[in-house]
Amino acid sequence: MEFGSGDPEALMRDFLREVGGCAVIDGGLATELEANGADLNDPLWSAKCLISSSHLIRKVHLDYLEAGANIIITSSYQATIQGFESRGFSAEESEALLRKSAEIACEARDIFYKECSEGFENHNKTKKHTVLVAASIGSYGAYLADGSEYSGEYSKEMTLEKLKNFHRRRVEVLAESGADLIAFETIPNKLEAQAYVELLEENNTRTPAWFSFNSKDGVNVVSGDSLIECASIADSCKKVVAIGINCTPPRFIQGLILSIRKVTKKPILIYPNSGERYDAEKKEWVASTGVTDEDFVSYVRVWCEAGACLIGGCCRTTPNTIRGISKVLQNYVPNESEEDRILFVVCLLLRSIWR
Ligand SMILES: [Zn+2]
């Protein structure tokens, strides 16, 4: 799907127009891989499936597309060249595994489009909708696999240059992988945001990116750095086409959207986790500490009204959550003046008659 004719900002603008103003991002990948039988107890986490069970990744992407996702995020969050090399893969093989994450997502999209045009004989009927593939890049802390993307505390020796060197080749490979955009996810501190901006600018890539931070207090990013400063860094880069928050409890999201809005006019994306607590020592989610799917979905209107226009789920959310979000967004009427509201409803009616 070609949007924006090479202008990064136009890509997101055209895409949002095409999907009716608000887009649905997919939900937790690892959560669903495990639900489908994958064992992710591994420093490579969901990226482990790139080596051994790509069919499961394809299936989970498809489940999210059928649930209504307009954007699917690749399985490369914890996939790094350094991580694969420590498993004995060569640099070339490691890069091929990164590319494979985008290829699987693009394949899932092709299958989805084909199924839509064939009328979903073997599936529940789902309407064809536009789909973008976002290549995930997890933070340096995600590579460490010690939970430090949730603390943002890197060693004192960590510098901007070291972070850029760590991420450089992965960004280059994923930018050329066929994905429509790069999703820098769970960015825990200002230094890493700055490193990504400099890599995008030094790189001649035309692939746009989104920046997504995480917060554990509803005010700052997890390291304690100011969210407003982090979002301003993202806003300063022309190749950044959306800014937001992921893997953060739903109860914090509204306030965080309002903070981001103070420093950017770019579209705001959010894909919270289920609100459950992650025990970094035991490396597991503490069950029953989060919100139900119904509660999660009941926030969606509030998030739209606060200014978010790309909404999905992160850890512990499922195709069910995404189906719920999709339903709300299909019927969402922006909270504008009475005239705008009437005009919007008339447009919706006309659109359904023309179809
Ligand atoms: Zn998450």
Q: Where are the domains of the chain?
A: 4-354
> Using one digit for the tens of pLDDT, what is the confidence trace for 301-348?
999 999 999 999 999 999 999 999 999 998 887 765 556 656 666 766
- Global pTM? 0.90
Any known ligand binding at 314? yes
Q: How far is the CA of 148 from the centre of ligand 1 (A)?
A: 13
Q: How far apart are CA 332 and CA 226, in angstroms?
A: 32
Q: How far is the CA of 299 from the centre of ligand 1 (A)?
A: 18
Interaxial angle between packed helices 227-235 and 190-202, expressed in degrees from 0 to 180 and rounded to the nearest 10: 0
Its sign, for the CA torsion 171, 176, 177, 180, is positive
Mean pLDDT of 238-265: 97
Q: Are 47 and 335 in contact (CB under 8 A)?
A: no
Any known ligand binding at 116? no
Q: How far is the CA of 247 from the centre of ligand 1 (A)?
A: 4
User: Looking at residue 129, what is its pLDDT?
Assistant: 86
Q: How far is the CA of 48 from the centre of ligand 1 (A)?
A: 17
Any known ligand binding at 230? no
Q: How far is the CA of 280 from the centre of ligand 1 (A)?
A: 13
> Using one digit for the tens of pLDDT, what is the confidence trace for 19-50?
999 999 999 999 899 999 998 888 787 888 99
Q: How far is the CA of 355 from the centre of ligand 1 (A)?
A: 37
Name 286's bridge partners: 277
Name the CATH superfamily, with its identifier, for domain 4-354.
Homocysteine-binding-like domain (3.20.20.330)
Name the nearest CA neighbour of 242 among 78, 1, 2, 4.
Answer: 4
pLDDT(230) > 60: yes
From residue 70, how far is each of 129, 218, 309 by CA, in Å? Answer: 7, 27, 12
